[in-house]
Amino acid sequence: MIDVLAIVAHPDDAELLCGGALLGAADRGQRTGVLDLSAGEAGSFGTPGVRAEEMARATAVLGLSDRRTAGLPDGRLENTIAARLAVAALVRELRPRVVIAHWPEARHPDHRAAAELARDACFVAGLRNAVVDGEPHRPFKLLHALTYQEHAPRPTFVLDVSAQMERKLDAIFAYRSQFGGKSAMGDVRGGGDRPLREQILAHHAHYGSLIRRRFGEPYFTREAMLVEDLTALGVNSF
C-alpha cells in the first residue's frame, strides 16, 4: 500500500516533476513510491552503472518506501494494451491512493505516452475481469504534474513545497551525469547561462508566488476541488 506513487517515463522524471510532493508526503509519515516505466537506457549521458548509482542516491534523498522499473523501452514508450496490462499489474501490487503522472501534452513523446499509459493502467487495474495478476485496485486520485510545462492550463492547485525545496534539488542533482554543469535540460528550459539549479528554483518560485509561498509544484486534475468553508480559502485576491 503506497499513499503517493509517481508513474513516470524515466529515472529522474519523478525528482524533477514531483520531488516536493513525494518528500512532503514522506515528511508526514506517508508511504511514497516511484514507478519508472523505463530504465532510461536510451539517455545520452552516463553509463547504466553510473545512472543506477545516481538513482539509488536520489531514492534515498526522497525517502521512498518503494521504487520499481517497469522495463518498458526508453525512447519508444507506447500506450499499448500489453503495456497497460504490465503497468496495471504493478499498480495492483503497489496499491497507491494517489498517482502522479506526466502532463498528457508534454514535449517528450515518452512523457505523453507515459501520461496516458499511467491513466489507462490505473483504470484497468480496477477491472475485476482484467487479465492482470493481483487483486483489483483503482487509485482514488490521479494528478498530472505541470512543472516546467509551457503549454499547459492554469494549475488546478499548487502544492506548497517550501520546506522540501532544498531536498528536492538534492534529489535532482543526485543525477550528476544528467544535470551537472548544465543550464538547461529536457523540459527545464534555460535562461541564458543561468545554472540549472537557479533555473529550477526560479520555476518553483513562480509557482510558489501563485499561492503566496516561497516554492510550489503545480498540478492538474480533471475533477473540481472540494471546498466546504469559503472563509478558509487560501491565497489572497488583493
Please say which residue, 51 or 137, places its beta carbon nearer to Zn ion: 51
**Binding footprint of Zn ion, residue count (CB under 5 A):** 3
Q: Which stretch binds Zn ion (CB under 5 A): 1-9, 177-185, 197-205, 221-229?
A: 1-9
Does 9 bind Zn ion (CB under 5 A)? Our answer is yes
Q: How far is the CB of 75 from Zn ion (least distance, A)?
A: 10
The C-alpha atoms of residue 218 and residue 210 are separated, in whole angstroms, by 9
First to last CA, the chain: 42
CA torsion sign for 155, 150, 183, 194 is negative
- Residue whose CB is less far from Zn ion, 95 or 147: 147
The total number of residues written for the chain in this structure: 238
Closest by CA to 132, choosing from 80, 161, 89, 96, is 89
- Does residue 122 belong to the site contacting Zn ion (CB under 5 A)? no
Check residue 187 for interaction with Zn ion (CB under 5 A): no
In the list 2, 4, 5, 13, the residue contacting Zn ion (rule: CB under 5 A) is: 13
Q: What single letter denotes the amino acid at residue 223? A: E
For Zn ion, which residue of 4, 10, 137, 178 counts as binding (CB under 5 A)? 10
Smallest distance from the beta carbon of 73 to Zn ion, in angstroms? 13
* CA-based nearest residue to 188, from 159, 147, 143: 147
* C-alpha to C-alpha distances, 86 to 59, 82, 113, 214, nearest whole angstrom: 23, 6, 15, 39
Stretch of 12-20, 168-176, 211-219, 220-228 contacting Zn ion, by CB under 5 A: 12-20
Distance in Å, CB of 114 to Zn ion, minimum:
8
Closer by beta carbon to Zn ion, 10 or else 31: 10
Q: Does 112 bind Zn ion (CB under 5 A)?
A: no
- Tell me the C-alpha distance between 155 and 150, whole Å: 12
Q: Does 172 bind Zn ion (CB under 5 A)?
A: no
CA distances from 115 to 51, 75, 144 (A): 23, 14, 8
Would you give the distance in Å from CA 9 to the centre of its chain?
9
Query: How far is it, in rounded angstroms, from Cα 145 to Cα 103?
Result: 6
CB of 9 to Zn ion, least distance (A): 5
Q: Is 117 in the site for Zn ion (CB under 5 A)?
A: no
The least CB distance from residue 188 to Zn ion, in Å, is: 11
Residues that bind Zn ion (CB under 5 A): 9-10, 13
